[in-house]
Amino acid sequence: MARLVGVTGLLVIVGLTAIVAAVSAASRRYGVLAPIALVVVGLGLSFVPGFPEIHIEPEFVLVGVLPPLLYVAALETSVPAFRVNLRPILLLAVGLVIFTAVIVGVVTHLLLPDVPLAICLALGAVVAPPDAIAATAVARRIGLPRRLVTILEGESLLNDATALVLFKVTVAAAIGTAVGPLAVSKEVLLSAGGGVLVGAIGAVVTGYLHRRTKDPLLDNTISVLAPFIVAAVAERLHASAVVAVVVTGLYLGHRLTTLMSAASRLQMGAFWRVVKFLLEGLVFLLVGLQLREVLAALHTPVGTAVGVTVAVLLTVVLTRFAWMYPATYLARLVTGVRRRDPAPSWRVPTLLSWAGMRGVVTLATALALPTALAGGAPYPRDLFVWLAFAVIMVTLVLQGMTLPAMARALRIPPDDRTQDVLAEATVQQAASRAALVKLEEHADSAPEYVVQRLRGLAEQRTNTAWERLGTNRETPSGAYVRLRRIMLEAERDVFRRARDDGRIPEEVLVRAQRELDLEESMLERTEEE
């Protein structure tokens, strides 16, 4: 991660993890968005005397952090919703990234005419893609409508692939490698097509392994290895690791219920929640911690640095607005989809335009900029790295902090929860009927009291779903949850005392606690819903 080895490195990692946990806990307590709080804390810690200097290697982000985060995001993405919104997603993930990269590159070249256009376009590719973590974290936190979250999620899943391909092409041109239309087409085809192919093969192989595995621990091990292996194979073949991991994750997430046992899914879900929480937190903290190193390496005159920084920041923000409105309205006229997908209010593209936070991938690609150009052309690499860092800071902190207020000011209506609950209750009733039919078909040899209990459980699930439509202060299901939790705690006390008195061994207590914990976790899930 950061040139850290031995006990010292381990202590630094443990310390950073503790900071992530503390800042995240404080953020939840005071209603602050954790990604923004972590970046700000990192900025402050970077100037604390004696605090370890931590250097981010591009490979750490692109190979070690990005694959698992993209993988778990793809697992959680609805494939039907992704497919329905594929047009706006591609317009943002491909069209907007290219548009932003070109405009930023041209503006930078106009301000720094001695710097070759190719490396200016590379800078545009660096700052073009919104972060895969920040946008969706903020969007979910403030409760945006489901379709907007899907579009932002889809954009963040694919835009890194577009930016990295563009970055490779422009850097190749800047360092003197021959780049023509044929070479660019080959690079795009290999990256996108190769990524889809590798991802599809990875999905099939991983799905086969999940089907053959019954042990939850092995299932989780396969799940952990999958994004890294798929990404490594794609990189080896010069295909897009981002596309490959996303394709694998989308396929497996869509078919997860048919690939893994319930125990494996529960354990995998809990594991990935912890990994996602820690990785996301560390990423934002590490971004903030880079400020001291970035400033120390900046040798460009202050006037030039300030002028170019302001110009690039304005360009990055305004190009998203300039693209979003035509992509929302003009695209419907050109493609003829107005009837099946009516144009939304102007508030929707306005809010999406402001949700362009950049993150760690921008910093990682900036650090991967070449140290020298073809023919010794002038090139202020220190300034370009600073520009990427400034874009991250301003978009993440400014836009991230003001996005909730903008959402409230624009009055974008949230999803109708009543409709969601009604749809769930209707489907649950049909599911319970199907379950009861299966019960009658297979209940011949079962004791009658068992059959009656199972019938009651099916009816209870249906009743619980319909109760959510009511307005009672405490529904029967709510009373059940409250009272059952009190009963479970009483049972735990009895088992603990029995263990302490030597009446049962520790193994019996562990088994009983596990059963009680599983039941309480289901009660907590019901309470959340």
Q: pLDDT tens for residues 74-108?
A: 998 888 888 888 889 999 999 999 999 999 999 99
DSSP for residue 63: I
Buried b (16+ CB within 10 A) or exposed e, 47-82: eeeeeeebebeeebbbbebbbbbbbbbbbebbeebb
Mutual angle of helices 476-500 and 448-467, in 10-degree steps: 130
HEC secondary structure over 368-416: CCCCCCHHHCCCCHHHHHHHHHHHHHHHHHHHHHHHHHHHHHHCCCCCC
Is CATH 1.10.150.120 the right assignment for the domain spanning 57-410?
A: no
* Helix (H) and strand (E) counts in the chain: 26, 0
Structural contact between residues 129 and 358, judged by C-beta atoms closer than 8 angstroms: yes
Q: Which two tokens stand for residue 355?
A: 């949700």
The count of C-alpha atoms lying within 13 angstroms of the C-alpha of 41, restricted to the half-sphere facing its C-beta, is 23
> Is the confidence at residue 143, as pLDDT, over 80?
no
Structural contact between residues 244 and 231, judged by C-beta atoms closer than 8 angstroms: yes
Q: How confident is the model at residue 133 (pLDDT cuts 50, 70, 90)?
A: low
**pTM of structure:** 0.83
Structural contact between residues 94 and 129, judged by C-beta atoms closer than 8 angstroms: no
Place of tokens 């202060």: 473
Q: Which two tokens stand for residue 364?
A: 């990682």
pLDDT 10s digits, 229-278: 999 999 999 898 999 999 999 999 988 888 888 888 888 888 898 988 89
Q: How confident is the model at residue 374 (pLDDT cuts 50, 70, 90)?
A: low
Q: Residue 146 has what pLDDT?
A: 82
Rounded distance between C-alpha atoms, residue 101 and residue 259, angstroms = 40
Structural contact between residues 131 and 357, judged by C-beta atoms closer than 8 angstroms: yes
Structural contact between residues 469 and 421, judged by C-beta atoms closer than 8 angstroms: yes
> Is the confidence at residue 323, as pLDDT, over 70?
yes
- Tell me what the mean pLDDT of segment 346-351 comes to: 90
Number of residues assigned to the chain:
529
Rounded distance between C-alpha atoms, residue 505 and residue 142, angstroms = 48
Q: What angle do CA 369, 373, 375 make, to 5 degrees?
A: 175
Cβ atoms < 10 Å from Cβ of 177: 12
What residue type is 523 in one-letter code? L
Rounded distance between C-alpha atoms, residue 95 and residue 89, angstroms = 9
Q: Residue 2 has what pLDDT?
A: 44
Write the DSSP assignment of 143-205 as a string of letters. Answer: T--HHHHHHHHHHHHHHHHHHHHHHHHHHHHHTT----HHHHHHHHHHHHHHHHHHHHHHHHH
Question: How far is CA 64 from each of CA 68, 134, 229, rounded to the nearest angstrom?
Answer: 8, 18, 11
Closest CA to 85 of 327, 326, 249, 323: 327
Report the SS3 class of residue 76. Answer: coil
Rounded distance between C-alpha atoms, residue 31 and residue 26, angstroms = 8
* Mean of the per-residue pLDDT values of the chain: 85
Q: Residue 95 has what pLDDT?
A: 93
What residue type is 56 in one-letter code? I
Give 368 or 331, the one with higher predicted confidence: 368
Cβ atoms < 10 Å from Cβ of 407: 22
Q: Phi then psi for 144, rounded to 5 degrees?
A: -70, 155
Q: Which two tokens stand for residue 383?
A: 């300034």
Q: How confident is the model at residue 525 (pLDDT cuts 50, 70, 90)?
A: low
- Tell me what the mean pLDDT of segment 2-19 comes to: 74
Domain coordinates in residue numbering, the chain: 57-410, 416-471, 482-529
Q: Which two tokens stand for residue 337?
A: 């989809």
Cβ atoms < 10 Å from Cβ of 143: 13
Rounded distance between C-alpha atoms, residue 129 and residue 70, angstroms = 14
> Is the confidence at residue 471, as pLDDT, over 90?
no
Place of tokens 């100037």: 47
Q: How confident is the model at residue 387 (pLDDT cuts 50, 70, 90)?
A: very high
Q: How confident is the model at residue 18 (pLDDT cuts 50, 70, 90)?
A: very high
> Is the confidence at residue 416, as pLDDT, over 50?
yes
Q: Residue 1 has what pLDDT?
A: 45
Structural contact between residues 151 and 92, judged by C-beta atoms closer than 8 angstroms: yes
Rounded distance between C-alpha atoms, residue 181 and residue 179, angstroms = 7
pLDDT 10s digits, 420-453: 778 877 888 888 888 888 888 888 878 888 888 8
